[in-house]
Amino acid sequence: MPSTAEHKENIPEHIAIIMDGNGRWAKKHGKARVFGHRSGVKSVRSVTEGAAEIGVKYLTLYAFSTENWNRPRAEVTALMQLLVSTIAKETKTLSKNNIKLQAIGDLKSLPASCFQELNKAIASTANNSGMTLNLALSYSSKWEIMEAVKELLTDVKKGKIQDDEIDEAVFKNYLCTKEIPDPELLIRTSGEHRISNFLLWQLAYSELYFTDKLWPDFRKDDLLQAIDDYNKRERRFGKTSEQIATKK
Ligand code: FPP
């Protein structure tokens, strides 16, 4: 396995990750679920650092889904506190590594402390020009698509756009990810083979990589392994192998 410094393969511009398995990891170690989330932060650090080192431009992490609000209140509170403290603690390191922080999701539904800390970190890293770390918080893809449809309808009603002008490129501009290219690679940890309401539009042609490792055990070397696997795939976008070989 090459180290990040000598990793010379084709690096995806955008990698999205469903960080799953914190609860099972905690159970395996005889601890409360929140212990798994805390350990998961170490993986976030390692993977973010690794991705930035090898030249990934965008890293999107599914940190809290709309559906996660239905977890026991104590776990939701602990997760929100962990997000606030992690964001506050890591802002300086993000800037030291020239990383810009962004977030997608129904951010107004976050507790005020979380929303404020997040906005502070986004503002203080806004001029960094290296990798963008994009946190999906209170995010679900169906929510995002519905919001996009509503906003688009409003613009049609206002006459800002005509209904016969609506196409994929126009629709993309109403999504939270309008400024970001679609991910070439999606990674999901913990052995689950599901998309779980994450970036449904954006993942249309992404390569999917599943690993049995639980998120707190996933580190930058595992990221490199996922990229190695991605490099063995042939991305055809609906064309034939022959067309890809001759670049038609
Ligand atoms: C899924 O594991 C993980 C989450 C719902 C939370 C992810 C959050 C972190 C890793 C910590 C904070 C992150 C940042 C970006 C600062 P699970 O609880 O569903 O695990 P299980 O399926 O084993 O129960």
Does some domain include residue 207? yes
Please say if 163 is a catalytic residue. no
CA distances from 104 to 131, 144, 147 (A): 16, 9, 12
Residue nearest to ligand 1 atom 7, measured at CA: 63
Of 247, 222, 181, 202, which Cα lies nearest the Cα of 1? 222
Please say if 119 is a catalytic residue. no
Which of 25, 33, 35, 37 maximizes ligand 1 atoms within 8 Å of its Cβ, making it the mutation to test the pocket?
37
Are the CB atoms for 45 and 227 separated by under 8 Å?
no
What are 158-195's pLDDT values in tens digits? 999 999 999 999 999 999 999 999 999 999 999 999 99
- Taking the CA of residue 90 as reference, the ligand 1 atom at the shortest distance is 16
What are 72-112's pLDDT values in tens digits? 999 999 999 999 999 999 999 999 999 999 999 999 999 99
Local confidence band at 154 (pLDDT 50, 70, 90 cut-offs): very high
Q: What is the pLDDT of residue 103?
A: 98
Ligand 1 centroid from CA 190, angstroms: 11
- Taking the CA of residue 68 as reference, the ligand 1 atom at the shortest distance is 5
Q: What is the pLDDT of residue 2?
A: 56
Does some domain include residue 80? yes
Of 200, 216, 218, which Cα lies nearest the Cα of 208? 200
Quick one: CA dihedral 111, 94, 187, 205, positive or negative? Answer: positive
Residue nearest to ligand 1 atom 3, measured at CA: 20
Q: Per-residue pLDDT averaged across 195-205, rounded?
A: 98
Does some domain include residue 40? yes
Domains of the chain: total? 1
Does some domain include residue 175? no
Q: Would the pTM of this model clear 0.85, i.e. be above it?
A: yes
Does some domain include residue 150? no
Domain range holding 111?
4-139+182-247
Does some domain include residue 167? no
What are 220-237's pLDDT values in tens digits? 999 999 999 999 987 777
For residue 8, give the CATH number of its domain.
Answer: 3.40.1180.10
Ligand 1 centroid from CA 234, angstroms: 31
Q: What is the pLDDT of residue 239?
A: 83
Does some domain include residue 134? yes
Does some domain include residue 195? yes
